[in-house]
Amino acid sequence: MIEVKNISKRYGEFSAVTNVTFSAKKGDIVGFLGPNGAGKTSTIRMLATYTPPSAGTAIVAGYDVIAQPDEVRKRIGYLPENPPLYPEMTVKEYLKFVGQIKGVRSSELNSKVESTMKRCFIDDVAGKLCSTLSRGYRQRVGIAQAIIHDPDVIILDEPTSGLDPKQIIEIRRLIKSLGDNHTVILSTHILPEVSMVCNKVVIIHRGSVVLEKPLAELVKERSLEETFIGAVSSEGAVQAELVAAPESESGANAS
Amino acid sequence: MRNIVAIAKRELLSLFVSPVAYFVLGGFVIIGAFFFFLILAAYNSYVVQAAQMPWAGSQIPSLNQFVVEQYFSTMLVVLVFLIPILTMRTIAEERRLGTFELLITSPVSILELVVGKFLGVGTLITAMVLLASIFPLSLPLILDLEIAPLISGIGGVILFALGLASVGIAASSYTENQIVAAASSMVILLLLYVIQAPAEQGTNEFVSTLFRSLSPQAQVIDLLKGVLSLKSVFYFFSLITLGIFLSVRSLESFRYR
């Protein structure tokens, strides 16, 4: 479903992402982990065809993001860091509009809007203006917007940031249910989220992937926290090499 | 096509949810009513004067010339100031809200996006001009007036307004800030408006031809007079195309950043 090979993103002199490589198959929920400023959003924006990579290739939902971005766009749902809501539209109007531009058939549009609202637990605010929604609802409308056209790949950029514990649990449950028939990429810097929701972990640090492993395999060796701290400590790249080896204790202590 | 309609409809909806559309639309019609009354009163006193001096009778301008033409050319100035207010938010606001990220990662081409925006704002602007045309349109009911030049005048004002709107949308696509978008398009439109004066005076043949072919004001005059000039129609279609082209170029640069 997703094949990312050596993609890089440069903004002038500054290199935000260098040679990132990872992959995900259908049904995977990939936790895309990294400290703030590691290049998560830059990578995700390239996968979502918002900006093209400066180098490398990325195949998303079977199509190349550079050569056939429009084919990719038909098959992805994307929630940016800030939910892209129109304050002056009601939730229902907004989802209808998004359904239209994402290519949902007119005959199915109404039923899709209804079922998506139910699925994301936002049917009780259907008639409310987006500007009056609380942070938790905004985030859920953002997710609804990303799944309304039943995309193959769902890309979520920090979907639980700024939510209260109850909302976080609801959203995690929702994301987990998405994994049944979609591929999900979930960027976050909250570790428990990954261990609860994802089945695969990709850790990025200073623009490079320092670790890519199935979660089950990873937590067999040691906890996700230790692995993460080890991978992103000052000698991140080196530490990542050592993750498999037992003497990487020093990395965990460096916190 | 479906995308264009969806975007145009959304644009209209958000225009009518904000108070701006009502203010501009209402303001335009009220200003129109005010000027129309003034011009009509001036025509009336002119006719009365002329009746007292029958030897000058042959020189009384027609109702079309005196009222309709003057009314429409006054409204053009009002449009120069009001249209940037309607277009300033079109694209700048999408970029500020982050909804631009949604649009650009959807299977919608940038041309569809810009054309949708243009049609959305264009519908409101057309409605606005038609509403303000009610005053001259009511004249033939009570007075002797030629209809054809009146219709071509209304068409001219609509083309003029749509041309200005495409410039406004282009300005809005280059910034995230609505005020910058409004100010820059207002300056550009005013410049295009004032170059009509040197074009008329024509001290220098080359300069006046150049200015005349650039100024929307100079181009619309024929249509207001009732001369169905293809050159003018072509000019406004070119202006609209240019505005849309510049917006597309500006937004496409996102895809290469």
pLDDT single digits (tens) B76-119: 999 999 999 999 999 999 999 999 999 999 999 999 999 999 99
A54 and chain B: CB distance < 8 Å anywhere? Answer: no
Query: pLDDT at position A251, please?
Result: 41
What angle do the packed helices B216-225 and B147-173 form, to 10 degrees? 160
Backbone angles phi, psi at A178, to 5 degrees: -70, -30
At B140-171, the pLDDT tens digits run 888 878 888 899 999 999 999 999 999 999 99
- pLDDT tier at B52, thresholds 50, 70, 90: confident
What percentage of chain B has pLDDT greater than the value 70? 96
H helices present in chain B, as ranges: 2-17, 19-52, 63, 70-87, 89-97, 99-104, 110-132, 134-142, 147-173, 178-194, 196-201, 205-214, 216-225, 230-252
Please report, as a single letter, which amino acid is at residue A92.
K
Q: Would you say the ipTM is above 0.90?
A: no
Determine the residue of chain A that is closest to B1 in CA distance.
A101
Query: pLDDT at position B151, please?
Result: 92
Is B97 within 8 Å of A74 when comparing Cβ atoms?
Answer: no
pTM of the model: 0.88
Best probe of the A interface among B7, B10, B12, B114, by most A CBs < 10 A, is B10
Query: pLDDT at position B124, please?
Result: 95
Residues with Cβ within 8 Å of residue A225, at least 6 apart in sequence? A191
Q: CB-based burial of residue B228 (10 Å sphere; 0-12 exposed, 13-18 middle, 19+ buried)?
A: middle
Backbone angles phi, psi at B229, to 5 degrees: -90, 120
Best probe of the B interface among A66, A86, A145, A152, by most B CBs < 10 A, is A86
Residues of B in contact with A86 (CB under 8 A): 10, 14, 97, 99
Q: pLDDT tens, position by position, for chain A (255 residues)?
A: 899 999 998 888 888 888 899 999 888 899 988 888 888 889 999 999 998 899 999 999 999 999 998 899 999 999 998 899 999 999 999 999 999 999 999 999 999 999 999 988 888 999 999 999 988 889 899 999 999 999 999 999 988 877 788 888 888 888 888 888 889 999 987 888 888 888 888 988 888 888 888 887 777 777 777 777 777 775 544 545 555 554 444 444 443
Is A51 within 8 Å of B257 when comparing Cβ atoms?
Answer: yes
- How many residues does this entry show for chain A? 255
The shortest CB-CB distance from B6 to any of A88, A89, A97 is to A97
Residue pointed to by tokens 């000019």: B235
Angle formed at CA A43 by CA A153 and CA B98, multiple of 5 degrees: 80
Residues of B in contact with A11 (CB under 8 A): 257
* Nearest-angstrom CA–CA distance, A13 and A6: 18
Residues of B in contact with A84 (CB under 8 A): 97-102
Distance from CA of B32 to the nearest CA of A (A): 30
Residues of B in contact with A51 (CB under 8 A): 254-255, 257
Q: How much is the average pLDDT of B116-130?
A: 96
Backbone angles phi, psi at A77, to 5 degrees: -120, 140
Q: Are B136 and B31 contacting, i.e. CB atoms less than 8 angstroms apart? A: no
A73 and chain B: CB distance < 8 Å anywhere? Answer: yes
Query: pLDDT at position B58, please?
Result: 56
Cβ atoms within 10 A of the Cβ of B121, count?
Answer: 27
- Ranking B37-51, B147-161, B230-244 by mean pLDDT, the lowest is B37-51
Determine the residue of chain B that is closest to A93 in CA distance.
B10
Could you give the 3-state DSSP secondary structure of residue B112? Answer: helix
A150 and chain B: CB distance < 8 Å anywhere? Answer: no
Residues of B in contact with A101 (CB under 8 A): 3, 6-7, 103, 106-108
